[in-house]
Amino acid sequence: MSKLPIVTIGLCGLGTVGQGVWKHLARSRADFAARLGVRVEVRRVAVRHRRKARGVAVPASRLTDDPLAVATDPGIAIVCELMGGTGLARRVTLAALARGKIVISANKALICAHGAEIFAMAEKHGGRFLFEASVAGGIPIIKVLREGLVANRFPRIYGILNGTCNYILTQMSARQRSYASVLAEAKALGYAEADEALDVQGWDTAHKACVLAWLAHGVWVRPDQMIVEGIERITPADFHNAAVLGYGIKLLAVIARDFSGNELSVGVHPTLLPTRSVIANVGGVFNGISVTGDVVGPTLYIGRGAGQDATASAVIGDIADALALLRLDRGAGIPPAAARAAGGDAGAAPSLAPARHIRSRYYLRLTVRDQPGVLARVASIMARRHISIASVIQHAAEQRDAASLVLTTHESNEHAMDGALRTLARLRSVLEAPLLLRIGDFDA
Amino acid sequence: MSKLPIVTIGLCGLGTVGQGVWKHLARSRADFAARLGVRVEVRRVAVRHRRKARGVAVPASRLTDDPLAVATDPGIAIVCELMGGTGLARRVTLAALARGKIVISANKALICAHGAEIFAMAEKHGGRFLFEASVAGGIPIIKVLREGLVANRFPRIYGILNGTCNYILTQMSARQRSYASVLAEAKALGYAEADEALDVQGWDTAHKACVLAWLAHGVWVRPDQMIVEGIERITPADFHNAAVLGYGIKLLAVIARDFSGNELSVGVHPTLLPTRSVIANVGGVFNGISVTGDVVGPTLYIGRGAGQDATASAVIGDIADALALLRLDRGAGIPPAAARAAGGDAGAAPSLAPARHIRSRYYLRLTVRDQPGVLARVASIMARRHISIASVIQHAAEQRDAASLVLTTHESNEHAMDGALRTLARLRSVLEAPLLLRIGDFDA
């Protein structure tokens, strides 16, 4: 075994994920030797503080506090960027790709912000950028979309991509508890970051949706081009109302492509899903993704979306692919589908769907003055926008003299709902900003 | 585009799957040109009857009735064996591999019977054998196990791998109908073959379990080394009893490895699954597979398991991998895990678990004389084998003066249950061969 060629790896970042990769890679070594005929060696590890105590014993001689030195080291073939952030991480990534190295990344924020630049750099210098760990942790969804389902176009991909939000929603639903109290508990348990904004406001999910949309449709959709709504305003009453109507509530990314009009929409929003649907029953920190291919039909993938081990599993999967590439020469494997939009018979790259083409049923919760005529006023505002009401639930609100008015609509569109919402918010009898959730009867 | 290098494909077999591949490959062509820089051409198609009318228009000049001529044609790089069977299909496969070609196969029966020979032939002559379509149709489970989850060892893989059985069980459960009447309907609808034995007796599932066990553990387990039980003896009453106990019934393949004792068990049998578990809710012709990795934890995959389009999606996924291989040279990608058993730190290849090490809870349905003392006699037979009874349901059976006695047990093992069953079957008060089902509290 000592005669096998050695492939050298540099780790940039030795936090939760980096430590997981270090730990699990030790075990995969014999497997890689047997199956791929190479020996892997983690030659350098860049950390912020060299003397910090850690859960893994990396020899001090391999530690450095300069990730750029790792990225540019001619003795290193594969660079794992596990630092996070979009500043130094971008420089490290580009520097390694400019030297024709393989970069492995779990950094969805970076890909979302600088993906076009990163893939252009890889293309130009014969480097490769692998990113299985960036979306849905241990579920190999990138490989599934790029390789396994290559025969398909994807009219709809939707799913739960953020374990923190799913943990919070699952706990709120199961135990009728408030958002604030579950969030506090999630922080104490380490399921939520000290600064939870990126997760609960939907931005982390949006970054992942951006990556999936690019893989499936070959275009970069920025979060500011998406509807991005978080989970902060959802209450136990919303879960109760949804349950009465036969639904659960999940924070979903929804990537929908209309191939006839060649329009793409990417959105992140809390969504009512039929209680019996599989995704509605994906609980806790798990992720779940539904991928509908036009050849294969609906497929579903469920697994841990984050955490040390699940993410390490994905990074090591990419390391195996990198080893297979290096065993030959640069360039094997199926490239990401950036070319799909231009090259496939789908024709030109899709344009982003305007709001009036993004259709859904809606759930609308209004806190209103408990007085006669309010429902009539609300209904007439909806009617003016041609929004047809499917059901109404009214009950006392927490405030004195207030009522909670929950409407569901038949299918309408984002433009009409947005207009109705603005008008409703201006009504004197509407006491709080209306809460709008989408209803995802995807399989109906 | 016409300047791109051409890769030539030969199809052996133009039945349901072959026609699907022909149809969908036409569309993938532009995608492959853009993403892989090659043009694919289906140069020859072997059929049994050249003049038969078909749903796809293959030019007569490309048709032949000699699949071996396709397999050995030096002008063809990729051979898709879509004929089925283990005789001619084996010769075609080996002939192509002996010439260093890439063979793509949907033929689980062939892999199960001759896998060792096939992979040895590929290894010897630099050919490659790809088989995504052999298990779980449109779900890219082969790629997931071999590549995406490469960092993992697999303590348990279980799932629904036969759409015909799942359709029958789903219908029996939903509509309280007998096996025979649902089977007749399934045949009329084309969901079951005219000769249903291979499906309903569990052999098709066993072939697929054999392929998955080899991928995950690197050893070939023949169906005659597995417990293989079918669905023919299940009645609507069993669904009712299971529901009372909180379970559904699915035909599962279960591949379990005990890494501490280094034992492997592979079984196919109807299994009670908790009503709320995801796999218990996979209905109709869908397949669903649970893969537990020791790094990633539990993951789940659901999709259409068979049919023209799902299988074509998998075959075309393999064609894309083949094109990526050919773009370079032979040998890219991660080889199947045959070496895993020998090379990984799991140490030596596992031995097959003896019956007394295969543990489960059990559901036992006995049709007994409706007379006092029968339960006591049954219970004492169980007690002698140290099998502890968890619950008893007794009700009138269809026959006169007979009762149906349904027992569930605490955890026991196959050896003890087999002994108890033999003794029970000999009792004069037991009127029919006992029906034994396993209980799969996998996630408990």
Q: Establish if B257 belongs to a structural domain.
A: yes
Give me the residue from B30, B143, B295 closest to A344, CB to CB.
B30
User: With an 8 Å Cβ cutoff, are A150 and B316 in contact?
Assistant: yes
- pLDDT of A343 strictly over 60: no
State which residues form the domain around B109.
6-130
User: With an 8 Å Cβ cutoff, are B337 and A35 in contact?
Assistant: yes
Q: Are residues B124 and B152 in the same domain?
A: no
Q: Establish if A57 belongs to a structural domain.
A: yes
φ, ψ (nearest 5 deg) of residue A253: -95, 135
How confident is the model over A231-254, as a mean pLDDT?
A: 95
Instruction: Please say which residue of B352, B376, B391 terminates a domain.
Output: B352
**Cβ contacts (< 8 Å) between A132 and chain B: which residues?**
148
- pLDDT of A75 strictly over 70: yes
**Predicted local confidence at residue A14, as pLDDT:** 96
**Predicted local confidence at residue A37, as pLDDT:** 83
User: With an 8 Å Cβ cutoff, are A328 and B324 in contact?
Assistant: no
**Predicted local confidence at residue A347, as pLDDT:** 60
Q: How far apart are CA B210 and CA B226, in angstroms?
A: 9
Q: Are residues B160 and B120 in the same domain?
A: no
**Predicted local confidence at residue A18, as pLDDT:** 96
CATH of the domain at B366: 3.30.70.260
**Predicted local confidence at residue A158, as pLDDT:** 97
Q: From first to last of its 444 residues, what are the pLDDT tens digits of chain B? A: 457 889 999 999 999 999 999 999 998 888 888 888 889 999 999 999 988 888 899 999 999 999 999 999 999 999 999 999 999 999 999 999 999 999 999 999 999 999 999 999 999 999 999 999 999 999 999 999 999 999 999 999 999 999 999 999 999 999 999 999 999 999 999 888 889 999 999 999 999 999 999 999 999 999 999 999 999 999 999 999 999 999 999 999 999 999 999 999 999 999 999 999 999 999 999 999 999 999 999 999 999 998 999 999 999 999 999 998 887 543 434 444 443 443 344 467 888 999 999 999 999 999 999 988 999 999 999 999 999 999 999 988 878 889 999 999 999 999 999 999 999 999 999 999 999 999 998 875
The residue ranking higher by pLDDT, A2 or B348, is B348
Q: Are residues A148 and A110 in the same domain?
A: no
Return the structure tokens found at B322. 């083949």
Task: Indicate the number of domains in chain A.
Answer: 3
Q: Which of residues 117-146 of B touch A (CB under 8 A)?
A: 132, 137-140, 143-144
In terms of CA atoms, which chain A residue is nearest residue B333?
Answer: A324
Which ranges of A3-85 does DSSP label H, i.e. alpha helix? 16-36, 67-72
State which amino acid sits at residue A72.
T
Q: Establish if A96 belongs to a structural domain.
A: yes
Q: A171-202 as b/e, with b when 16 or more CB fall inside 10 Å? A: bbbeeebebeebbebbeeeebbeeebebbbbb
Between the alpha carbon of residue A272 and those of residues A11, A155, A160, A279, B370, the distances in Å are 41, 20, 12, 11, 52
Q: Are residues A292 and A150 in the same domain?
A: yes
Q: Establish if B187 belongs to a structural domain.
A: yes
Q: Establish if A337 belongs to a structural domain.
A: no
Contacts for A59 with CB less than 8 Å, ≥ 6 apart: none
Q: Are residues A105 and A157 in the same domain?
A: no
**Predicted local confidence at residue A338, as pLDDT:** 42
Instruction: Please say which residue of B84, B105, B130 terminates a domain.
Output: B130
**Cβ contacts (< 8 Å) between B149 and chain A: which residues?**
138, 140, 313, 317
Q: Which helix (H) or strand (E) holds A291?
A: strand A286-293
Taking the Cβ of residue A1 and every Cβ of chain B, the question of whether any pair is shorter than 8 Å is answered with no
Q: Are residues A157 and A105 in the same domain?
A: no
How confident is the model over A227-243, as a mean pLDDT?
A: 95
Taking the Cβ of residue A174 and every Cβ of chain B, the question of whether any pair is shorter than 8 Å is answered with no
Q: Are residues B95 and B159 in the same domain?
A: no
| Range with the poorest average pLDDT among A92-101, A178-187, B388-397 | B388-397
User: With an 8 Å Cβ cutoff, are A151 and B343 in contact?
Assistant: no
- pLDDT of A339 strictly over 70: no
Q: How far apart are CA B288 and CA B51, in angstroms?
A: 39
CB atoms within 10 A of CB B254: 23
**Predicted local confidence at residue B369, as pLDDT:** 93
CATH of the domain at B235: 3.30.360.10
